Amino acid sequence: MEPLSTSKFPGESDAYREARNELLQAELDLRHKIEEVAALRRKLPPGGLIKEDYTFQSMAKEGVVPVRLSELFAPGKDSLVIYSYMFAPGAEQPCPMCTSMLDGLNAQAQHISQRTNIYAVAKSPIEKLTSWINDRGWKHLKFLSSYDNTYNADYLGENEQGSQMPMCNVFVKGDEGIRHFYGSEILYTPVEGQPRHVDLIWPLWNVLDLTPEGRGNDWMPKLSYQD
What is the residue-wise DSSP string for 21-66? HHHHHHHHHHHHHHHHHHHHHHTPPP-PBPSS-PEEEEEETTEEEE
Span 119-124, mean pLDDT? 98
Determine the pLDDT at residue 180: 98
Report domain extents, the chain: 55-186
Q: 55-186 sits in which CATH class?
A: alpha beta
Which one, of 84, 35, 99, 219, lies nearest residue 209 by Cα? Answer: 219
DSSP 164: B
pLDDT (tens digit per residue) in 33-85: 999 999 999 999 999 999 999 999 999 988 999 999 999 999 999 999 999 99
Determine the pLDDT at residue 227: 61
Q: Is the predicted pLDDT of residue 3 greater than 80, yes or no? A: no
DSSP 141: S
CA-to-CA distance for 21 and 13, rounded, in angstroms?
A: 12
